[in-house]
Structure 1
Amino acid sequence: MSAELAGFSVAKESGIRLNVDQVARINLTLAVGAATETIEVQARTALIETATGSIGQVVTAKQITELPLNGRNFMSLLFLGAGAVQTDGEQGSMRQGVGSAISLMGARPTSNNFMIDGTSNTDTALGTPAAVLSVDAMEEFKEQTKTYSAEYGFSANQINLVSKSGTNEYHGALFYFGRDDALDAKNFFDSPTAPKPPLDQKQFGGTISGPIIKNKTFLLLNYDGTRIDRGYSAFTTVPNPEELAGRFTRTIIDPVTGQPFPNNTIPSSRFSRLAQLVLRNGWYPAPNTDAPQGNYQYSRTLPQTQNQFTVRLDQDLGSFGRVFARYTRTNYENTAAGTLNEGIGDSLFVQKNTNWQVSHTWAIKNNVVNVFRLGRVEAEANQEGVACPQSDVDSLALTGVFTNIPDPQRGCPGVGIQGYAGVGGPVNDYTSSNQPMWDVSNTTTWITGDHTLTFGANYRRWWLQRDLANDFLGNFGGFNIGFTGSYVADFLLGYYGSNGVSVFQPGPFPVEGAVGNPREYNFMYFAPYIQDDWKVSSKLTLNLGLRYDYRNVPYETNDRMGWRNLDYAPGGLLVADEKLAPGGIVDGAYYQEAGRRTPDNPDRYKAFAPRISFAYRTSESGNTVIRGGYGIFYDSAEGREIDGAADIYPYVSRGSYQQTLNQAEPLQTTDQLFPSFTSGGVATPAMNTFLAVSMSPEPKNPYVQQWSLGVQRAITRTTSAEVNYVGSHGANLLMRIQVNQAFEYTPERPTVAERKPYPNFGVYIDSTWSGWSDYHALNATLTHRGRGLLASVAYTWAKSTDSKSAAAGIGANETAGWQGFLNNHDVARDHGLSSFDVAHRVVASFVWNLPFGKGERFGKDASGF
């Protein structure tokens, strides 16, 4: 940086390093002299922030590459900052390779906007990164938890990664990390005579960068690969072979006659078709231990593969600025054991994620800079299984199910007997998801006098493409009553119980030519903004901004969605698809024609987000700065929750069939499943055992108010301290509510069905924008940078409360996505500590360059190394 004025020498400061989104204050002193004279000094890193009230944590390239990272995943470094808490959630299980869910400053784990080089890299369904950038291709990143600049929005928190670029010098690096089981001990469940479960973990790759044309064109190539084969041992319980053959040592009752089977033996001719399939394929192995419980010991090895690739090309255009293009791809495969049977019982998670971007930076004038970005991100995630042989499918002779099911959607049926290991196919296969998004933004910065004006806009258009239809051949996990006196005998005869048999069936209006219920939701986001960083005086800087966050009400491409009808007392679904009315599905009782694609949200035009912050230097030296701010941030609302609004009858039915002792209806066996829906018919109460999921007819704009006040001081030239009070309040947060929960028992309404608010339906999940949250914290951070040591210590004292810690009820204390509140009719009583509430947290990290080698204290003149 240089400054010049007539009658003074040119002042120049070099070696200035700007971190991502950093506003650095550089004070230049002009000395009297000739303009041909230049006084140059070497800059030192600014330790404190004197120009904005924002709060964030920069993780530098040295920390990224030098700090130990299990799996070399940058997500672990997010926990270095104050206010970061690891929590349970769907993020780690449904999006592989991104680590666990993370809450920043009291916000939900889904409230994180991940970016690479300023464009979106967010899986909007879960709030995780899509393509994972290798740490060797990463220059730095910033975790912005209280950023009061109007330039940022879309979510409450921002995590902005900056990729490396090539330079005028050639650089290359190779790496290999290996780990095996040589030094591992056996665990408690390993057999003392069997070999140890294997472990073979390898990570390898490299980076090469340099000029294609000196001073003009630069290239960077990066590859990062992971191969893991992880074994484990376990004990489980399997049925006795004699019992599986129908021969029992106790009395077995025939539910047809009510009399015992002769000799306590069930004739094989009475075995259900499902039992015959299980026995014929040997899905239940014979016990290999003498223990009555845990009579089968086994070991498995599960593979995991990941490939990351990044290429970046930079071009200097001279007076027309600089342009770069980057392409990042991450492929991930992971095998998980779903049931006892290797192969057909395994789930294969396959992810293919891409992120590419073109960016142009142009200094139009000395005081005007324009940045244009165009990017696209895709987050494809599939859960697949091994296809069940068609001959096995035919032998089941199931009715009322999808036919001509292709690979890999044709998973084998799962089987579960109370007290024994599950066998057959895994639950919830097959599922697929993709979220292609276009991201376009333009930002112009204009410095005029004491004002730095930044204005621009961000436009995002994306689609959520989902098909969560699964268990097409049924999940028979409900042999748990003992109608015969034995769970195993129930299984052999096919008498399922109260745990039920679940299946994804075609409704009377299935999607033509499709297996399951593929759907595509449409989203649009447009956010213009203006920001004024005003230097009121040499000590005070005000940051004033206004952002307008417009989001459309999402709609399904083919109108296959619905929402709850609040005006019909027995309960009903408003169906957007007008084609259903002529078919007779809209009968005025269970379903009504909506007449429009989506519910109306009059508040979507009111999404103004003001931002204000300040930085006040208490003295001209600038060693102490008081900073604070307030802002409104409209949060990402939909996530994966909205897709349940299309997962509805009459296209498909999530069937669940149960039986109980002493029921009025005759017992059925699995050979009688599944009842078909009448084409063009309307569901009746007896058939409404499926799960109803809908959107609230009153969508709102979820938002978070954030505020902070703190002080930062440079203690020495290399050490700084910072103390902040931070707070936030969230409103209109998305929640799932089981609106059809039965009321308390009364003699007038003795049965559960009579006590349900909407007797036409079974379980009724409604996604409504009515949640709230509060967060208060005191953060203290001590940072040292200098003399080869980079170290920080962060302490957080916090309290986080909310009505619900995740839209789906996922969290440390909310373990099932379909679980709602203890009392869904009075959700305010569930207000309490968040699932991710942690009162006290301390995190410390350091990187110390040992004083040996070139340029260091010892061995600086040594050669040949």
Structure 2
Amino acid sequence: MDFGSPVTGSLAPIVPGSAMKRQRRAARQRLHRARSGCRQADRATCRSDTLPGAAAFLRQQTMGEASRMAVRLRAWIVVALAVGAVSTGLAQTHLGAIRGTVLDPTGATVAEAALTVVHVPTGVGRKTTTSVDGAFVLTQLPPGNYRIDTARDGYKTHVSQTTLQVSQRLSLEIRLEIGAITEQVVVTADALIDRESVALTTVVDNAQIVQLPLDGRNFLQLALLAPGTSPAAQGSAASVRGDFAMSVNGAREDANAFLLDGGYNVDPKLNTSSVRPPVDAIKEFRVLTNTYDASFGRHAGGQVNVTTMAGSNRFSGMAYEFFRTQALNATNAFAPSDQPAPDYRRSQFGLSIGGPVVRNQTFFFADYEGLRLDEGITQIANVPTAAERQGDFSASLLLPPTNPVTGQRFPGDVIPAPFVDPIGGAIANLYPLPNRAVPFENHVDSPTLRDRNDHVDVRVDHLIGAGSTLMARYSLGDRRLFEPFSGPGFAAVPGFGSDIERRAQNLVVGLTQVVSPSIVNDLRVVYNRVSAGVFHENLGNSLSTAVGLPELSDNPRDFGLSFITITGYSPLGDEFNNPQRSTTNTVQLLDSLTYVRGRHLLKFGADALFTRQEAFRDVQSRGFLTFSSQPNFTGNALADLLLGLPLVTGGARLDNPQRLRTESINLFVQDEIRLDDDLTLSAGLRYEVISPPVDVEDRANVFDPVSGTIVQVGTEGVPRSGYATDTNNVAPRVGLAWAPGGRGDTVIRGGYGIYYNQSALAPGEGLYFNPPYFDFNLYFPLPGLPLTLANPFPEQFPLPTPPSALAFDPALKTPWLEQWSVGVQRKFGGRRAIEIAYVGSRGHDLLTARDINQPEPSPVPFNLRPDPRFGDIVSLESTARSRYDALQVTAQQRMRDGLTLHAAYTLGKSTDDASDFFTSAGDPNFPQDSNNPGADHGRSSFDVRHRFTASFAYVLPFGAGQRWASEGWAARVLGDWTIAGIFTAESGAPFTVALLPEIDNSNTGRAALGFGANDRPSLSGNAALRDPSAAAWFDTDAFTFPAFGSFGNAGRNILDGPGYQNLNLAVLKLASLSEGVNVQLRLEAFNVLNRVNLGLPDVFLGSPTFGRILTAGPARRLQLGLKLIY
């Protein structure tokens, strides 16, 4: 752990003028004589008239000096920032502080009291003395249990036992009793509410982490217990493949910071977490959601500050396994009734050990966890029958094909064998044969998903000498995943899955130095590396060549099968975004210095982050072919395939290896001022400079809106990154915390701040998707010049489509949020508390994209773009905005009568122009009308109007020390049982109704890359149903196709999806095997009530399942667990 060595000395006192010194000296003497008299007299008759006068004088003079010092401080801050002072960008430190006041029985302050603060697990302590007004502060302390010994002549020694949480500023009031210093008074100081913090935070401690049932044992799921949080929108970029993502108080999912032992633990590709230690390796974590101080930054959403376990003076450890099998799972509501349950086997196992290397000096902790998952993934597909793939459509339910030459139906609705293109026939035979006796969805299969995960952590803490400690922690996470299906919109038949590889490493080295009793410095060096790749299943295996199609690329890593879509049937081919790989290295240097001066707790910091990414992404390197039921062909897409008549083809020829570089520098200063014993002012200032990503060799081009041409970066006035660095990122923070009466039972807090967000790297990769490094073309058949399957991507074509291009807004800015909150927290008794707060935020300059070459909608057949030399021109801009307002209520109960409880309710609303730069839940990249992006303003895709969560752990009242069955065999059998659970209930997420993506009803063009813009239908009346069901979730008759060449009037995210309710439950039994060795048995049930949580409906007008819900969340799953704890 990061803790200071034992040091002796008092806090730096305030230095007044000579006259003031004499007055204070006299006041202290009067105060000391009065207290001595009280100690010698009868306590019942001892009056305090003399005591408050002297104490009040000292307080008044101290406060006056504090005010004068504040003026000097402001000037000093400006100078410090100007010269670049010491710094960190994140106070992201996980270290905390203990501050307080020592009082005598009358409430007067006690000066020069000696305090020893000992970190109980390691036995290492720090010493200090109270100032003239009885105050003390110890900073840069690691979280954990502490013993605080307070001694002063004439008083009994006061022993406090308390717990310091991660990044907490703990405020204590220590009251001494008159008596001999050899006598002791032992009390427990449990800070249920924070008297001095203005931030809204939620702490999840180790007891909650290890007791609560977690599906997948991902501790980050517990961050969703905080009010104001909501899960990422369905299908969001950051949440694929089970990765954790969330929205916090209206911020996007890429706006969260993940900190591990004070260091940056973020994968900059999408701003997700890098490494994720196992549950039993986490000591605790804090989720900061609103108005946190200037020491936290770089991201404008939540700050998830995690501390790992460290060794102590006692050897301890555990070994465990959690197991699931199909026999323990209920059947999903949408599982095919005519098929057996797919295979399922999941085993998660691990061990940990920690202890001393040298007692009271050097400690270690190490852990390992593995995951082995084999799960059959059921997918239903529409495949051609044996007759249809031979050209016989006589029994087909689809439209019979017509001869494209004569316009007449083929005799008997059978295409003559000589007419069948051999390549088209070979492609049709790639489909498996139907295995279900139904007209549609006639094929089902459950190939196996394989997931292999291994994770290791090693941590060492060492006391170097007086005032200095050193820690180092290394984490490695390795994952190998095979997905038999690539995802929605891609092939629904086996053979076209994806292989995913990801290796993440995180190293933190920290040095904490106690320079003096009032100055502590913390230095961190962090190295973070993430190497990830996604590869198509047929990597290097040219299925295209096998069926007769040419390979578009000559690079073997791109070989596979072109992506082929056939209207009425499931797609074929490998996912067109792959292969791709990126290796990102991040080095962080951060330093923070804490300085205690009178009533001021000052913190200065600087943080430098250097990021390097080597990557490739071979988008559309195998090309695509589309066959559609167009009447000017055969009217039957499969017949078009068999005749070799594609509607459109396309693909990319590319040579664009990525070598991105970016840096960011953050500076901050923060002051926590105790204006009075019950009033704390928090004021801070932060400055952030984030350089845009650049290619190390400037091997990138962008479209220049000024010249209307594609130019190389770094030339013709275009910056190397495509846009200029935004240097105007000044972020003030201010807040007040008031505890009326100074008792600490009630705290009123409020604050305001500006927060900047470092965007993910992925949008910056757009630098590489312009000609000539990325040359994407679409090919359409021309009269007398049809496309052939033998040459679907002709290099020489009379009328190639204009190239697409990508541009950056030259004035692109750093996204930023305003945050504010006001609330009240009240403690009831010693173990319960409730907090009610209003929380608001406004997002500015949020990243979005639009097509700046979109034509106005028109029914004219050939609707030319403004610049006909180009197709769509994707412009990355910082023009989106957002708004969030919420009422948030939190209630908690610390352990009382065996029950621990935490509940949170949020009534909120989030609106924006775009909920992410990427797509989610079927949303497109672009607004419907790129010439009027503001028309897309609506509810955020992650907006949840009502959300309630409750977590609890209840120790049953049986066994030793309990109310019942406290002795004998009954105590052994019935004792040490715990029931723990998490309940979640939330209203439905919004969704948008749109036309099928391939339908360009507005005649404004389709995007060549990404998902482009989906046209929306026209809406008449209210489409929401009073009693929606999976068969009809909304009124489909309320939506109609707009007139060709026009946009529909239906808005974005105007309907609500199904709500969500879930209860996860765990039953735990602890049994002793021998002295110091215990075994824990666990039974965990996820969705224990087996509630059907419906997915989103089919939102595409024109789809045969429009308005229906076809998916549901997991049914009940049981998990068995065994832990050996020693």
Contact 2:389 2:425 in 1 (8 A): no
The one-letter amino acid of 1:643's match is E
2:223, 2:333 → 1: CA distance? Answer: 34
2:444 is matched with which residue? 297
2:768 is matched with which residue? 646
Contact 1:599 1:699 in 2 (8 A): no
Q: Which runs of 5+ in 2 are unaligned?
A: 1-114, 117-128, 130-149, 973-1071, 1074-1126
What is the DSSP-based 3-state SS (H/G/I as helix, E as strand, rest coil) of the residue aligned with 2:222? helix
What is the DSSP-based 3-state SS (H/G/I as helix, E as strand, rest coil) of the residue aligned with 1:27? strand
1:504 partnered with 2:652: yes
Instruction: Report deviation, 1:611.
Output: 1.0
1:588 is matched with which residue? none
Instruction: Report deviation, 1:120.
Output: 0.9
2:711 to 574, 593, 613: 574
1:164 to 284, 291, 309: 309
1:342, 1:331 → 2: CA distance? Answer: 28
Task: Give the 3 Å change call, closer, same or farther, for CA 257–197 of structure 1 in structure 2.
Answer: same
Task: Give the 3 Å change call, closer, same or farther, for CA 193–700 of structure 1 in structure 2.
Answer: closer
2:812 is matched with which residue? 699
1:724-755, Cα deviation, whole Å (9 max, x unpaired): 11111111111111222220327xxx24542x
1:493 is matched with which residue? 643
Instruction: Report deviation, 1:295.
Output: 3.0
1:144 to 270, 288, 300: 288
1:27, 1:190 → 2: CA distance? Answer: 60
2:957, 2:511 → 1: CA distance? Answer: 41
1:434, 1:807 → 2: CA distance? Answer: 22
* Larger deviation, residues 701-710 vs 375-384: 375-384
Instruction: Report deviation, 1:786.
Output: 2.8
2:697 to 540, 549, 558: 558
What is the DSSP-based 3-state SS (H/G/I as helix, E as strand, rest coil) of the residue aligned with 1:490? helix
Task: Give the 3 Å change call, closer, same or farther, for CA 288–799 of structure 1 in structure 2.
Answer: closer
1:127 is matched with which residue? 271
Contact 1:478 1:501 in 2 (8 A): no
Contact 2:700 2:767 in 1 (8 A): yes
2:669 to 524, 530, 533: 530
What is the DSSP-based 3-state SS (H/G/I as helix, E as strand, rest coil) of the residue aligned with 1:64? helix
1:79-106, Cα deviation, whole Å (9 max, x unpaired): 111111123166566653423x311111
1:22 partnered with 2:188: no
1:10, 1:368 → 2: CA distance? Answer: 29
2:282, 2:723 → 1: CA distance? Answer: 43
2:1066 is matched with which residue? none
1:383 is matched with which residue? 534
What is the DSSP-based 3-state SS (H/G/I as helix, E as strand, rest coil) of the residue aligned with 1:642? helix
Task: Give the 3 Å change call, closer, same or farther, for CA 56–333 of structure 1 in structure 2.
Answer: same
* Larger deviation, residues 126-135 vs 382-391: 382-391
1:681 is matched with which residue? none
1:35-92, Cα deviation, whole Å (9 max, x unpaired): x536442333201111121111111111111111111111221111111112316656
1:831 is matched with which residue? 937
2:616 is matched with which residue? 467
Instruction: Report deviation, 1:545.
Output: 0.9
What is the DSSP-based 3-state SS (H/G/I as helix, E as strand, rest coil) of the residue aligned with 2:621? coil
Task: Give the 3 Å change call, closer, same or farther, for CA 297–97 of structure 1 in structure 2.
Answer: closer
1:87, 1:394 → 2: CA distance? Answer: 41
1:840 partnered with 2:946: yes
1:780 partnered with 2:889: yes
2:168, 2:955 → 1: CA distance? Answer: 25
Contact 1:349 1:382 in 2 (8 A): yes
Contact 1:574 1:594 in 2 (8 A): no
RMSD: 2.9
Contact 2:553 2:559 in 1 (8 A): no
Percent identity at matched positions?
Answer: 30
Q: Which runs of 5+ in 1 are unaligned?
A: 512-516, 579-592, 679-683
Instruction: Report deviation, 1:319.
Output: 1.2
1:805 partnered with 2:952: no
The one-letter amino acid of 2:913's match is S
1:358 is matched with which residue? 509
The one-letter amino acid of 1:702's match is P
What is the DSSP-based 3-state SS (H/G/I as helix, E as strand, rest coil) of the residue aligned with 1:331? strand
1:109 is matched with which residue? 253
2:543, 2:944 → 1: CA distance? Answer: 51
Instruction: Report deviation, 1:249.
Output: 4.2
1:254, 1:744 → 2: CA distance? Answer: 33
2:445, 2:920 → 1: CA distance? Answer: 31
Instruction: Report deviation, 1:605.
Output: 2.4
What is the DSSP-based 3-state SS (H/G/I as helix, E as strand, rest coil) of the residue aligned with 2:190? coil
Instruction: Report deviation, 1:370.
Output: 1.2
The one-letter amino acid of 1:833's match is R
* Larger deviation, residues 725-734 vs 124-133: 124-133
1:211 partnered with 2:356: yes
2:1005 is matched with which residue? none
1:440-487, Cα deviation, whole Å (9 max, x unpaired): 111111112111111111111113443221342223243443623432
2:687 is matched with which residue? 548
Mapping of 1:378-777 within 5 angstroms? 378-387=529-538, 392-394=543-545, 401-406=552-557, 409-481=558-630, 483-497=633-647, 500-506=648-654, 511=655, 517-568=656-707, 571-576=708-713, 593-594=716-717, 596-601=719-724, 604-659=726-781, 664=783, 666-676=785-795, 686-745=799-858, 750-754=860-864, 756-777=865-886
The one-letter amino acid of 1:285's match is P
1:555, 1:665 → 2: CA distance? Answer: 46
2:550, 2:447 → 1: CA distance? Answer: 35
Contact 1:324 1:358 in 2 (8 A): yes
1:118, 1:96 → 2: CA distance? Answer: 27
Instruction: Report deviation, 1:793.
Output: 1.6
1:423, 1:762 → 2: CA distance? Answer: 27
Q: Over alpha carbons, which structure has the higher Rg? A: 2
Instruction: Report deviation, 1:647.
Output: 1.3
TM-score by length of 1: 0.88
What is the DSSP-based 3-state SS (H/G/I as helix, E as strand, rest coil) of the residue aligned with 2:276? coil
Task: Give the 3 Å change call, closer, same or farther, for CA 206–484 of structure 1 in structure 2.
Answer: same
How many residues of Structure 1 are paired with residues of Structure 2 in the alignment?
A: 814
1:640, 1:725 → 2: CA distance? Answer: 34
2:1058 is matched with which residue? none
* Larger deviation, residues 186-195 vs 787-796: 186-195
What is the DSSP-based 3-state SS (H/G/I as helix, E as strand, rest coil) of the residue aligned with 1:836? coil
1:792 is matched with which residue? 902
1:173 is matched with which residue? 318
1:530-564, Cα deviation, whole Å (9 max, x unpaired): 11111111111111111111111321222233444
What is the DSSP-based 3-state SS (H/G/I as helix, E as strand, rest coil) of the residue aligned with 2:622? coil
1:68, 1:5 → 2: CA distance? Answer: 44
Instruction: Report deviation, 1:215.
Output: 2.1
Instruction: Report deviation, 1:594.
Output: 4.9
The one-letter amino acid of 2:532's match is A
1:295, 1:463 → 2: CA distance? Answer: 48
Contact 2:627 2:638 in 1 (8 A): no
What is the DSSP-based 3-state SS (H/G/I as helix, E as strand, rest coil) of the residue aligned with 2:532? strand
1:174, 1:428 → 2: CA distance? Answer: 41
Mapping of 1:35-50 within 5 angstroms? 36-37=181-182, 39-50=184-195
The one-letter amino acid of 2:756's match is Y
Instruction: Report deviation, 1:837.
Output: 2.0
Mapping of 1:234-313 within 5 angstroms? 234-247=379-392, 249=394, 255=404, 272=421, 274-275=423-424, 277-278=426-427, 282-313=429-460
The one-letter amino acid of 2:805's match is A
Contact 2:802 2:869 in 1 (8 A): no
1:587 is matched with which residue? none
1:797, 1:193 → 2: CA distance? Answer: 43
Contact 2:678 2:742 in 1 (8 A): yes
TM-score by length of 2: 0.68
1:672-717, Cα deviation, whole Å (9 max, x unpaired): 2212379xxxxx9x43454422221212121111111111111111
The one-letter amino acid of 1:378's match is R
Instruction: Report deviation, 1:320.
Output: 4.2
Contact 1:795 1:841 in 2 (8 A): yes
